[in-house]
Structure 1
Amino acid sequence: MKPAPEKSRTSIVGIVALAAAAVTLLFLIVVPKWDAPWDPIESREWGWRGIAMNTFTSERTRTDPLNLIPPEIPAFEPSGQPASAVYQNLQVLGGLDSARFDHLMASITEWVAPEQGCGYCHDLTEGFASDAIYTKQVARTMLQMVRDINSNSRHVGQTGVTCYTCHRGQNIPSKVWLRGAEPKPPMGGIVGMPPPWNRTAENMRDFFPRRPFEDYLLDDKTITGAQARAVSGEVADLSKLEDIYILMMQMSDGMGVNCTFCHNSRAFADWSQSTPARINAWYGIRMVQRLNNDYLVGLQDIFPANKLGPLGDVAKVDCATCHNGMSRPLGGAPMAAGYEALHATGISRDAIVRETAYETRNARMAEIQAPPPDPAGLVQGESDGE
């Protein structure tokens, strides 16, 4: 009886190579793009050493063309006459110098509709004064919104925003959200995403449901109870904790930071142990609430049906809309510098004046109440916001 012939070394190598290729192909098919291990992550330590106060930015975010500052259009020489003397139907910037008005319009075109040009908002047949195209009505409201932010928002401060801060040369900002239909039972929550989420989700925004955005960035639900209480014996509402977690993960992903950018991870709820960035984030959440409710939701009847979401709602904003994966939008560039018309106080008769800061004009939001630290360090105080 002859012994069975041994497989050649070449055959074994071929089988191993084939198996490796199959595993690699399976990996590329199953693993979403946002899990790609070849995307280098840069970590910058900005707190005390040894406490993991780091900011993480991916190479993909740093080199994203949408995060590059656009070339600036040189300012026009003032004409000496108001825009209202040259153009008709100016409801917002009639008091602005006509040359400055032209400069702003040219800039807005590059910020929002560089390919379509003036015709994206204006009916070039009926004339610039016509409101026939819905995008002109939307643009007017957005202009009022930008001026309100620059004049009254503590979150934005002196940096300022322009149309480009959100749009980045696109008609619709790349990071917006719409109401989503709830998955049918037993699906729901983080684990129960409707299939095939693991193949269709390309980023953090696709992975998580939209309910937390609806609760905290549209409705005015209070963000509290995000940390368990070991002494009081209170039982946390797990669905609420999950929603808060999802909101925080979306904020973290949208700004390219981790939890310790705002919080001390040993005591998430304690304001006295949090970083100053948490105060600014508190203002940011309220600013987003006001933008969605005061400006965007009101545009729902203006948009045509094919521009609305599956449930008939208008696109809304969140942290990622402006930040796009960076802790400061566009690296903190003062985008509104040189555009005095984008600050409502720059034109007295068009000024938008609020008695309190933009994010705190509701009576119950008049000031931040940071709870005192618990002496025993066991019970964390609740706070209104993150």
Structure 2
Amino acid sequence: PQAGGFAANRYGMNLGSASVMYASLPYDPFTPFLKGDKDIPIVPLEALPQRLGEGEQRVSFMDTYQTYGLMMHISGALGVNCTYCHNSRSFLTEETTPKHSLALIGIRMARDINTSQLEPMAGLYPEEVLAAHGGEVAKVNCLSCHQGVFKPLYGQSMLKDYKGLN
């Protein structure tokens, strides 16, 4: 049974899900970040911001939860921890590792595959396949290729098998 009133809405959180390494974070970090093109926000700087300055955008706690959900997914999919991409001394600084830039490219690549390759093919899938995924085609995410290792196929080059990519 589900609680009523204020407690009735889980806000997409607090259910154990492999997508976020069983944390109590939003269990669908893929739709906003890997299907849509939502910016990946950072942690809010103050608990209750009073006023926004010119050009500032408010980052809510829910935005932060979604970001952490995506980060937990990436961490599990690559078999690494936060310091693989981030400077743990200060997550809010611009001081990141070179892997951070590669991760951003990977996120953009997954977005592009989902929006330009998979979604246009929705009409080609049988209804039972779409129904299994909530009426949508399956989407790629980090785990699709990485499968728990920091380099897909442990860095094995596939160029020799696909001559057209050389």
Give the TM-score normalised by structure 1.
0.36
Could you tell me which of 75, 85, 88 is aligned with 1:265? 88
Q: CA deviation at 1:310?
A: 4.2
User: Displacement, 1:291?
Assistant: 0.5
Matched, 1:312 2:135: yes
Q: 2:115 aligns with which of 293, 300, 309?
A: 293
Shift of 1:338: 3.6
Which stretches of structure 1, 4 residues or longer, exceed 3 Å deviation after superposition?
A: 203-211, 232-236
Q: How big is the shift at 1:188?
A: 3.2
User: What is aligned with 2:53?
Assistant: none
Question: Equivalent residue for 1:253?
Answer: 76
Give the distance between the partners of 1:205 and 1:269, measured in 2 at CA: 22
**Structure 2: how far apart are the matches of 1:238 and 1:209?**
12
190 and 248 in structure 1: CA distance in 2 versus 1, 3 angstrom threshold: same
Cα distance, 1:227 vs. partner?
2.3
Structure 1 or 2, whichever has the larger Rg, is 1
1:268, distance to aligned residue in structure 2 (A): 1.5
- Aligned in 2, Cα 1:250/1:206: closer, same or farther, shift over 3 Å? closer
User: Which of 23, 43, 51 lines up with 1:227 in the alignment?
Assistant: 43
- Partners of 1:187 and 1:242 in 2: how far apart? 13
Any stretches of 5+ residues in structure 1 without a counterpart? 1-183, 347-386
The CA deviation string for residues 85-137 of structure 1, in whole angstroms up to 9 with x for no partner, is xxxxxxxxxxxxxxxxxxxxxxxxxxxxxxxxxxxxxxxxxxxxxxxxxxxxx
CA deviation map 1:125-182 (0-9, x unaligned): xxxxxxxxxxxxxxxxxxxxxxxxxxxxxxxxxxxxxxxxxxxxxxxxxxxxxxxxxx
Establish whether residue 216 from structure 1 lines up as the match of residue 39 from structure 2. no
Q: CA deviation at 1:330?
A: 1.1
The 5-angstrom pairing of residues 1-386 of structure 1 reads 185-191=8-14, 193=15, 197=16, 203-204=18-19, 207=22, 209-224=26-41, 226-229=42-45, 233=49, 236-271=59-94, 273-308=95-130, 309-341=132-164, 343=165
Maintained 8 Å contact 2:44/2:64: no
* CA offset digits 1:267-287 (Å, max 9, x no partner): 21322x110000101111111
- 5+ residue gaps, structure 2, are 1-6, 51-57
Letter in 2 for 1:222: D
**Cα distance change of structure 1 residues 239 and 284 upon mapping to structure 2, 3 Å threshold:** same
User: In structure 1, how many angstroms separate the alpha carbons of the residues matched to 2:107 and 2:60?
Assistant: 22
Matched to 2:119, the amino acid is V
Letter in 2 for 1:277: K
Q: TM-score scaled by structure 2?
A: 0.79
Change (3 A) 1:268 1:187: same
CA RMSD of aligned residues (A): 2.6
Return the alpha-carbon distance in structure 1 between the equivalents of residues 28 and 19 of structure 2. 14
* Amino acid in the other structure paired with 1:249: M
Question: What SS does the aligned partner of 1:301 have?
Answer: helix
Q: CA deviation at 1:236?
A: 4.2
Quote the Cα distance in structure 2 between the aligned partners of 1:205 and 1:262.
17
- Give 1:339's aligned amino acid: Y
Classify the secondary structure of the residue corresponding to 2:160: coil
The equivalent of 2:3 in structure 1 is none
How many percent identity over aligned positions?
33
- 3-state SS, counterpart of residue 159 of structure 2: coil
